[in-house]
Amino acid sequence: MTSIDLNADLGEGMGSDEDLLAIVSSASIACGGHAGDAATIRRVLKICAARGVRAGAHPGYADRKRFGRFRLVLPLDDLLAQLRSQLLLARHVADEVGVPLEFVKLHGALANQTAEELALAVGVFASIQAMDPKMAVLALDNSQQVRAARAVGLPLIREAYADRAYTPDGLLVPRNVEGAVIEDADAVIERCLRLAHRHEIVAIDGTVLRSEARSICLHGDTPGAVGLAREIRDALEGDGVTIAPAAPEVDEPWDLRMGEDEIGDMPLSPKDPG
């Protein structure tokens, strides 16, 4: 039987958390970087426990003013310190509440940057692995995040996006490009059904991409997010798809065999918002 995980990014102050937690099977919880604090983490975790939703941490650039959607220029050590601080906060609250954090999903600009830049993704995921080697990574399928997670030996959950346009090489179209966010509900639902049954996503130029993603992200900060999430779940279940958390892939670490030009401290360069 076909199974799909529906995940949403929560604890971001959108006011839709409780409604979305009645629909999704996994929740990525903002942990103090782009949004959230101990109180919001605790609230979302308690609802996850009550509703049987798998919980994970959702760290990113510590930039509340721009919601973590701009790429910051800072030393790698400073970035990793930001991420460790967010993960420690989330884990502390999770331990207090008694709800396990089972995965990490990077947010916004940092997620897009690690999807593109292998060396940065390896550095970030190695830091997560050092904190908790059993923590799974929710990673954009067909991106450098997948390669990096496999390289450092982290359990992997492959993710796709219901309402975001893709480039022909499998990355997300930047939000400042027209058509980056898909607003037509019927188109979003069709994409989800196609991914579930045929393992395919159609890029913005019509290229058909193969995807093994078994988790679909439903954004909570788009207009009508709750209604769309409910329509997606109803359509999937009506078409014989079971909604349940996706099991992580666990493999031996890969040997990347990276060339010298790919290794070292990769500078973080300013780009358009992710």
Weakest mean pLDDT among 30-39, 110-119, 234-243, 252-261? 252-261
164-217 confidence digits (pLDDT tens)? 999 999 999 998 999 999 989 999 999 999 999 999 999 999 999 999 999 999
Q: At the top level of CATH, which class does the domain 3-245 belong to?
A: alpha beta
Q: Is residue 131 scored above 90 in pLDDT?
A: yes
Q: Could you say which DSSP state residue 98 is in?
A: T
For the chain, domain boundaries: 3-245
pLDDT of residue 224: 86
Residue 122 pLDDT grade (very low, low, confident, very high; cuts 50, 70, 90): very high
Q: Nearest 5 degrees, angle CA 11-CA 13-CA 14?
A: 105
Reported pTM:
0.91
Distance CA 37, CA 140 (A): 25
DSSP string, 32-96: SSSS--HHHHHHHHHHHHHHT-EEEEE---S-GGGTT-S-----HHHHHHHHHHHHHHHHHHHHH
In eight-state DSSP terms, residue 15 is: S
274: burial class by Cβ within 10 Å (0-12, 13-18, 19+)? buried
Whose tokens are 């995921």? That residue is 125
- Residue 247 pLDDT exceeds 60: yes
For 55-69, 93-107, 258-272, which range has the lowest pLDDT when averaged over its residues?
258-272
Core vs surface per residue 101-126: b (16+ CB within 10 A) or e:
bbbbbbbbbbbbbbbbbbbbbbbbbe
